[in-house]
Chain A
Amino acid sequence: MTPWTPGPDATTSGRLPHAFTTPGSSSFVDFLAGYAPQLLPGHRPLPTSEVAAPHGTTIVALAFEGGIVMAGDRRATMGPMIASREIEKVFPADEYSAVGIAGAAGLAVELVRLFQLELEHYEKIEGSLLSLDGKANRLATMIRGNLGLAMQGLAVVPLFGGFDLDRGVGRIFSYDVTGGRYEEHDHHSVGSGSVFARGSLKKLWRPGLDADGAVRVAVEALVDAADDDSATGGPDTVRRIWPVVATVTAAGYLRAGDEQLGEIVERVEQERREAHRGRGGAAR
C-alpha cells in the first residue's frame, strides 16, 4: 500500500490539515476520498488485462434463534493451484456483525479492513453504533466503488450478517458486484462452492436451531461444498485446520474454538463413514 503522504492542503506549519478539522462527515471512506484517494481500492488505475491473483471461495451464513452463524472454508486458489490452505475469510465487522468475503483475496482483505475501520470510525465520532441496515448500506457503497476492478476479474462478493439490536434478531445480507444489496432469509451462501453449500443448507437448516446446531449445519454445508467443488477446502484433519466459524448474538461476535470445531468435524465424518459403509456406496 502507498504510505501515507500529506495531502494537497498540508501546510508547512505542521498543523493538522484542514481536511482533518472540517466538520460534518462521520465516514472514514469519505474522508479518505477527499484527503488521500490513492488509499481507496476503487481510486487506483485499473489493470489493463485480467489479473491472476489468489481467490477465496465459499462462505455460508444462516440464522438461528437469537443470532446468525457465518462460516468460511480456508482455501484460496490461483487457477488450478492452491494458493493458501489457511486463509481466513470471515471477520468481525464490529461487535455485532460479521462479514465474509469470496473473490479476489487481496482486495477482499483490504475491503474488510476498510469496512471495519469505517464502522469503528463512525462509532467513535458519533458515540453510537450504526444501525444494521446502515452498516449493510455502507458495505454496498464500498462494493460499488470496486466495480471497475470487478470487470478485470477482481470481483469481491461479500456476505454480511449481524444481530439487529433494535429488532432483536439476526439478519443476513448478500451483495452483487454492482453493489446490489439483498436481505436473505434463513440462510445463504456465496463463492465457487455456494451451489453445493446452498443445497446442503436447504436440507439441513430448520427453524428453531440453537447456536450449537447452527454451527454444525454451517460446518456440514462447507464439507458438502468441499466434496464437489475443487476450490473449496474441506476440514484438514492432518494439519488440524478447521473452517472459520463465528456466531453473532446479542452477546456479540464469537469465533468458535478449535476444540468445538474438531469435535463437530469428527462427528460429521464419523456419521458419513458409517452411512457409506452401511449402504456400500457413496450415499452422502
Chain B
Amino acid sequence: MSMPFYVAPEQLMKDRADYARKGIARGRSVVVLQYDDGIAFATENASRALHKVSEIYDRIAFAAVGKYNEFENLRVAGVRYADLRGYSYDREDVTARGLANAYAQTLGTVFTTESKPLEVELCVAEVGRAPAGDQIYRLSYDGSVADEHGFVVMGGQADRLGGLLEDGWSPGMTLPEVLALGVRVLGSAGEDGGEVRAIPAQQLEVAVLDRTRPRRAFRRLTGALLEDLLATPQPGADVGTD
C-alpha cells in the first residue's frame, strides 16, 4: 500500500493561490471609478458580445477579470440571486452587500474544498442616491472581500495601475474626467518598458451606474456617445502630464 505524500496546508493553499493569481494576471485589467453622478467601469475588450461588465439589478453592477466561463457562471448566479430576492421581498431589499457575501462564500468554499480554485476576481458595485451611499466591493479568488472607496483595479498589474489611479483620482470628478483617467491608466506603459498606448473607443468596454436614472441605473456607453465623452476636453485634468 502506498501512502500519499504529506503536503502542509500552508503549501497547499499557497500553490492554489499562486495558480489562481497566474490565471487572473493573464487577463486585461478592469478599472472601476466613482464619479459625481455614479460609478464608471472601463476595460479593454474588443468583443461586443462577451462582456466583462454587466447589470445585476436596478442599482447593482458586476465586473470581473479572469476566466470567462467561471465569472460568467457567477454573473448568472448573481442575477438569479438578486431577482429571487427582489421577487420574494422587495426590489429595495436587494443589496450589493448581500450579493458580495454570497459570492465570497462561494469563492471561499471552492478555494478550500475543490481541487482547483476559481481564477477570477470580481467587483460588485451599488450606486446610492448620493455619492456617500455608493458601495464598491472587491472579491478575490479565495473569498476575501474588500470594501473599497473611490476606485478599484482588478487583473494583471493591478498594483501598478492602482498606484496611478491613486495619484489621479479625487472625489467629485465628472464622468468625462474619470473616463479619461481610466483609459489613460489602462493604456499606460507597463513595468517591462512597454509604450503608452491610446486605446480607441472601439476597443473599450465602458458602462456606468448612473444615479440620476430612475430605476435601472446600469447603462452601457458605446459608439458615438462614448467617442464624444472621451473627446470632451478636460480643463486642468492633464496638468503636469505633458
Contacts of A114 in B (CB 8 A): 87
For A, the interface residue count at a CB cutoff of 8 angstroms equals 26
Question: By the criterion CB–CB under 8 Å, are A16 and B88 in contact?
Answer: no
A14 contacts the other chain (Cβ, under 8 Å)? yes
Contacts of A125 in B (CB 8 A): 76, 79
Least Cβ–Cβ distance between B132 and chain A, in angstroms: 27
Whether A127 contacts B88 in the complex (CB less than 8 A), given A16-B102, A16-B105, A20-B77, comes out as no
Whether A4 contacts B80 in the complex (CB less than 8 A), given A13-B105, A13-B113, comes out as no
Q: B75-89 interface mask toward A, CB cutoff 8 Å, 1 = contact, 0 = none?
A: 011011101111111
Question: By the criterion CB–CB under 8 Å, are B83 and A21 in contact?
Answer: no
Contacts of B103 in A (CB 8 A): 16
Least Cβ–Cβ distance between B54 and chain A, in angstroms: 7
For B80, give its contact among A14, A20, A113, A120 (CB under 8 Å): A20
B73 contacts the other chain (Cβ, under 8 Å)? yes
A35 (CB) vs chain B CBs: closest residue: B84
Q: B162-191 interface mask toward A, CB cutoff 8 Å, 1 = contact, 0 = none?
A: 000000000000000000000000000000
Contacts of A32 in B (CB 8 A): 84, 87
B198 contacts the other chain (Cβ, under 8 Å)? no
A207 contacts the other chain (Cβ, under 8 Å)? no
A284 contacts the other chain (Cβ, under 8 Å)? no
Whether A16 contacts B77 in the complex (CB less than 8 A), given A127-B49, A127-B51, comes out as yes
B106 contacts the other chain (Cβ, under 8 Å)? yes
Question: By the criterion CB–CB under 8 Å, are B106 and A15 in contact?
Answer: yes
Question: By the criterion CB–CB under 8 Å, are B88 and A124 in contact?
Answer: no
**Chain B positions 42-64 with a Cβ under 8 Å from a chain A Cβ:** 49, 51, 54-56
Sort A-B residue pairs by CB-CB distance and give the 5 closest, nearest first: A4-B88, A14-B105, A20-B77, A15-B109, A15-B106
| A124-B54, A127-B49 given; 13 more Cβ-contact pairs under 8 Å | A4-B84, A11-B109, A13-B109, A13-B113, A16-B106, A20-B77, A23-B73, A28-B80, A114-B87, A121-B83, A124-B55, A124-B79, A127-B54
